[in-house]
Chains A and B, each alone.
Chain A
Amino acid sequence: MPTVHPFPGPRPGPGPRATADISVGFAAWAVNQGSNPTMKIDAGAAAHQAIELDDLDKGIVEILRSNGRATNQEIAEKLSVSAATISSRLRRLEESNAIRVVAVADFAAHGYHMLIAVGVKVFGRDAAAVARDLAKLPEVFSVHLMQGPFDLELLVGLKEFAEINVFLTDHVARIPGVSDLSAGIAADIVKFEFNVAPL
């Protein structure tokens, strides 16, 4: 039986108890040497687990930040390690949901020429349930449960002005529990950093 450790305590070091069992309750991070099939089962706990990158990981991330299409070979040469090392590091980083190497597409590439920020007040229903319903709408880019003047905040991409009314009235307003809406139209997006996100 795996030993239960208080969460979120520090991950035990490789002491006498650090057998394969220990990985059950802890993130796959560092423990995973590729031989333990139980590593990925605890996604729930892993999602809350602090993860740490070592210098090599950080070096890889830095190179990929400026060019996500750099080959393993190119990265390997810059960091003086083998391409196989890069490959396994990247796999581990991605499998632990620490990073994603992605093509970020501009809203315009998806035909979204309008961005609106919508505050939603909820009455008579759990705000989280309303959030889950809102998250199903394809136009909705992000949904956050807030502590603030509105219970929920959405960022929504729309193709044209006429869609605002359809979206707010026909889609959002009909969701049970939605009691108030406040929408603002993005006139200019001056800064938009996207390198840190919930993965």
Chain B
Amino acid sequence: MSEPQLDELDQRIIEQLARNARVSNRQIAGSLGVTEGTIRTRIKDLQEQRLIQFTVVTDLRLAGSPNLVMLGVHAEPARVPALAQELARIPEIGAVVVLLGRYNLLATGLFTSLVEVHQLIRNRILPLRGVRSVETSVSVQNFKYNFGMARITPEVRPRSRSKAEAVPPAPRAKASGTKGRAAR
């Protein structure tokens, strides 16, 4: 992970935007005693470094109140990086983490049917080369979830500024270190 240098002003801007992303630059500037231009520049920098992203989080109810399903994948170590990419390309899987200990890969998804989970594992995960077994665990209740914090990965959504380059959305094996590719 890169070591971002955030000063106190950055932190306080993030704090305000986390509470309300639609607060204007002018309002932030006023409350922090800096110019509107400073706020604009800082926000732009934070976005370019992929440290913040403005978006809409929709409630689970809108997705039919699904359950979070965690899949612990045991796999051949040599195949783990490739498998991470293959799992990430499955649309139903929302998160893929290469994990040390417990299992080799952790994949999560939101599902409304256990049959769907079963079919995903049986038909699309177990057949992947290098996968040995999959441990399934289903969330029945959430006690805490901090929706203001996440890993902002390049895959989440094409960044608006690079739209002009029109990168085809075809599957491409992206190594984790390709960050510098986007406009820098």
Using a CB–CB cutoff of 8 Å, the interface residues on chain A facing chain B are 48-51, 53, 61, 64-69, 97-110, 112-113, 115, 117, 119, 128, 131-132, 134-135, 140-150, 153, 157, 182-199
Contact = CB atoms under 8 A, between A and B. Distances in A.
B21 to A, nearest CB: 5
B139 interface: yes
A74 to B, nearest CB: 12
Nearest to A117: B106
Interface string B151-171: 111011100100000000000
Contacts, number: 265
Interface of B: 1-4, 6, 10, 14, 17-18, 20-22, 46, 50-63, 65, 68, 70, 81, 84-85, 87-88, 93-103, 106, 110, 135-153, 155-157, 160, 176
- Among B2, B144, B153: residue with most chain A CB under 10 A: B144
B46 A142 contact: no
Contact of B54 (A102, A149, A192): A102
A140 B107 CA distance: 19
A66 to B, nearest CB: 7
27 contacts: A61-B58, A66-B55, A67-B54, A68-B56, A98-B58, A98-B59, A99-B58, A102-B56, A104-B52, A104-B148, A106-B51, A108-B2, A109-B4, A109-B52, A110-B149, A113-B1, A119-B102, A135-B143, A146-B137, A147-B138, A149-B137, A157-B149, A184-B106, A185-B101, A189-B95, A191-B93, A191-B153
Given A66-B160, A108-B1, A143-B145, 5 more contacts: A67-B160, A107-B150, A190-B97, A191-B155, A199-B60
B4 A108 contact: yes
